Amino acid sequence: MRSDIIVERIETLRLKDPKRYETLIKEGMAYEQGEYGKEEKKTVSLKALEDEYFSKDGGYANISKSVLSGNRDEVVKQTKEQLSKGKDPVDLVSNALMPGIQVQCEMYDQGNAFVPEILLSNDAMLGGISLCQEKLGNIPKTGKVITFVAEGDLHDIGKNIVAAIMRANGYEVIDLGRDVPASDVVKTAKKENVQMVCGSTLMSATKPGLVEAAKLLGKETPKVPIACGGSAVSKQFVDTFDNAIYTKSPLITVNTAKDVGKGKGWKEFR
């Protein structure tokens, strides 16, 4: 998002809602200073990362390695092999496909991998995910949710994993993609009669997009909360605004959607 738009939004917030402005600034400053859930990043070797993230199962680890090397054809071939052996597609997403991109992202973060490598690994992972989704077929639908990445943010790898895991658990997912204005989210929520919205952001500057979506949803569709995740989001941040629930991982999001489907409101998660 352009910095002049950010400045304008912050100024509007300060004038219209000084209390929320104050809370967000305080929380934001604390987050940046590392008070909330930020760990010191240290350089870790590729071998150590593979040991940490990859499965002990050789077939699974080979898929993770192929994701890491961005080899989509190999990922597709190996995922097909595992599925034909009867492996659980949801388990394959979480423990074979996802670890590959996680290691690539850690390498990038340390300056040991570059943008094209991330994009190739993402593409390779998505090749495997679509096979797992095909395998699951038309399972009975447990509910309908929206997934999106906040306006200005293009980081969609984690959101795609969340969407895949929600689908694998029987949810119909309307994926609005990345860089999505809050008004589009609300329009779709109203039209599609969804039970929950899942929003994410990985950048500090785009966190207000989640606040805005929560606020608009609260006004237009009060029974539809927003589950917020992604690495720039913390419970401390989400607790500063209404109609939102902090969900750290894809599986927690699934369980949260189940509870919301049973009538649990956002306040009960605080």
Contact residues toward ligand B12 (CB under 6 A) are 101-102, 105-106, 108-109, 115, 118, 122, 152-159, 161-162, 198-200, 202-205, 227, 229-232, 247, 249-250, 253
Cβ of residue 225: shortest distance to ligand B12, in angstroms? 12
Question: Between residues 131 and 232, which has the closer beta carbon with respect to ligand B12?
Answer: 232
| d(C-alpha 90, C-alpha 61), whole Å | 16
Cβ of residue 13: shortest distance to ligand B12, in angstroms? 18
Cβ of residue 177: shortest distance to ligand B12, in angstroms? 11
| d(C-alpha 204, C-alpha 28), whole Å | 8
Cβ of residue 156: shortest distance to ligand B12, in angstroms? 5
| d(C-alpha 96, C-alpha 64), whole Å | 5
Question: Between residues 13 and 232, which has the closer beta carbon with respect to ligand B12?
Answer: 232
| d(C-alpha 171, C-alpha 164), whole Å | 9
User: Within 10 A of 61 (CB to CB), how many other CB atoms are there?
Assistant: 18
Q: Are 44 and 242 in contact (CB under 8 A)?
A: no
Q: Which of 205, 240, 217, 183 is nearest to 10 (CA)?
A: 205
Question: Between residues 19 and 231, which has the closer beta carbon with respect to ligand B12?
Answer: 231
Cβ of residue 160: shortest distance to ligand B12, in angstroms? 8
Q: Which of 133, 188, 128, 119 is nearest to 163 (CA)?
A: 133
Question: Between residues 8 and 81, which has the closer beta carbon with respect to ligand B12?
Answer: 8
Question: Between residues 176 and 232, which has the closer beta carbon with respect to ligand B12?
Answer: 232
